[in-house]
Amino acid sequence: MRVAIGGSTGLIGTALGRALVRDGHEVVRLVRGRVTSSDQRHWDPDAGRIAGPGLEDVDAVVNFAGAPIAGARWTRERKAEILRSRVTSTLTIVTSLTPEGRCQRLLNGSAIGYYGNTGTEIVDETMPAGRGFLAEVVSDWEAAAAHSPVPTAVLRTGQVLSHDGGFLGLQRPLFALGLGGRIGNGRQFLSWISLTDHVRATRFLLGSDLTGPVNLTSPNPVSNLEFTRAYGRLLRRPTPLPVPLTAVSLLFGREFVNEALLASQRAHPARLLAAGFTFEHPRLAQALSALG
């Protein structure tokens, strides 16, 4: 199989590309900058262009492209970039595909932010969109993917666990210094998935005919307090003090704190499990232990 990957230099895209190559597949890495290797192909999502031959020579596309949610204050400009980067990259891909073309599979990025703050309620793929900025972003992101002329699944991803970046990459320095702690009261649910299982699930879906939304989360979400204690044990660091939300709010804004840190999402991967996928790391202790 020949697979094009958007967001190929990110945490998940990099890991997926390596796994596919190990499996004997060919990978075409869509890159925004200068092409420096034979497996790269330039694209400009802002202009809606992919360098020739576009996507005519691939069997499937996996798209994770999008500006990071965290790392900067949610100004009006930053929020516009978070939305624009996801929608334009998705539209660039779907408009490059044709029903009769070689490519007959698209896996497009999405997120469990779609559900908004759902408290303790268990949410699967049948649930409607929630409220808030992230829910609106994901809804528009998925709406762009709905224009695809080929069978398409949208990957509603939870927090991906890896020391190389993402959710843990941002928190590890604080925890390593003994400054990690629960966020708020710690009761909000965290829906997570190991990087290993995310890559395995994506590869599984490449060979599946499943379409529509698919939750890519472990079947065993935990509370923020449970996560905090488990990660502290892994790093052998105390976690007695809560995160100072006032300081975080001053740095990143209250909207970011409410939606990205305090929102509770207890997602269940119903469709993935029903399709026969089995998790290598179904529980948090297993996933953290595998990180070493």
Gap between the Cα atoms of 288 and 87, Å rounded: 33
User: Nearest-CA neighbor of 106 among 1, 205, 200, 196?
Assistant: 205
What's residue 174's pLDDT? 86
What's residue 3's pLDDT? 98
What's residue 142's pLDDT? 98
- What is the phi/psi pair of residue 169, to 5°? -60, -35
What's residue 280's pLDDT? 98
Q: Enumerate the domain spans of the chain.
A: 2-291
What's residue 165's pLDDT? 87
What's residue 139's pLDDT? 98
Q: Report, at the CATH architecture level, how domain 2-291 is classified.
A: 3-Layer(aba) Sandwich (3.40)
What's residue 223's pLDDT? 98
Mean pLDDT by 10 residues, the chain (292 residues): 97 97 98 95 97 97 95 94 98 98 98 97 97 98 98 98 88 88 96 98 97 98 97 92 90 92 97 98 96 80
For residue 154, give the DSSP letter: E
What's residue 179's pLDDT? 85
